Structure 1
Amino acid sequence: MAAAKVDHAVVSGTFSLDGQTFDVDNNIWVIGDESECVVIDAPHDVQAILDVVGERTLKAILLTHAHDDHCRVAPALREAANGGSGAPILLHPDEKPLWELTHTDHLWDVDVADGFEVTVGGTTLKALHTPGHAPGAVCWYAPDLGCVFSGDTLFNGGPGATGRSFSDHPTILRSIGEKLLALPDETVVHTGHGDDTTIGAERAGIEAAG
């Protein structure tokens, strides 16, 4: 069996919150082997996500948080996955207020808590609860692959935005300090938007801000 790997694509759409809308490009991350995979977040375009999944079984849709640009097509992807047989959506329950801004008729399937684990393609992803950008924000850490999927918690250049509803700057700095800076410096950070970085590259800036 081939080792698990990370596949990537970028899709474009909008992000709306607090009465404002912005054009955004979102990263799609798919982790798995040749037969099965999981998706990190569900932005904008179901078919674009399924194109990365290919013929593999999609075991789950792992959401980092419930801003609309990360979860907008999650219910549609759930229905379309695996030839229509579906795939569960995983989300931290503290995201319910944000989720309900986008989805009033659908819920996710599995509550995620800090330390929750998902195994796919012979590798394990561990949920790190990192509130701040959003109350139930989660980063998915794959130690075997030497990477973490940070959503909008940590970017190339620093922490995610905290100027909108349901966010808090001291909280995101504490989350990053406690959960992400505890990872090895060489850990690759696959972000929700933009380029990769590493924990080591961001450490000094985060520690200075904290």
Structure 2
Amino acid sequence: MARRSKNQAKRNGGRGVPGWIWLLGGLAGGVLIAAVLLVRNGGDVKQLLPKPDPEARAPVAADEPVAQDAPEPRKPKYDFYDVLREREVVIPDAELNAQAQREAAAPADAAPPANADTVRYLIQAGAFRSAADAEALKARIALAGEIARVESAQTDTGTIYRVRLGPYPNAGALAAAKRTLGSHGIEAMAIRAE
């Protein structure tokens, strides 16, 4: 391997002014300008600062009140997702596990609860601003053996893409799916929608 000479290491081919000289020149120029301003003002730094205007007056409010139309009361805007949000309840893990144990302990021929037809169990694995991020999580869930879907929702700040699974027939099936996701490193929320 050939050895490089010291001439190859020089930048700009040995021509030009080094950067440190430009830095020192800029600093010296700034100090020179500051010194000229101080000498021109007699060495008083306070003269360089802005001065208050003694003739300035605060704006005077008009003697007659200006009649303003009363703003119309805001009508409530009902959005499909707002209605759902009020009907969805996040189920804490302890409550979900207790419900699953009660279902498992109940006899097989026992009648289902009265609200079993109206209650839906869902899992929300994530909510994203980017549809691509939501689709990536959906693919990870598919590798875990579960089927997910991406739902878009409009909010005040824009579109949110939610990754959801379900509905599940009961809390036991929901808890099992949530455990499967957890074993693959996917954190999720259990939701009961009525």
Shorter-chain TM-score bucket reads under 0.3
What TM-score does the superposition give when structure 1 sets the normalisation length?
0.19
Q: Which has the larger radius of gyration?
A: 2
What TM-score does the superposition give when structure 2 sets the normalisation length?
0.20
More helix by share: 2
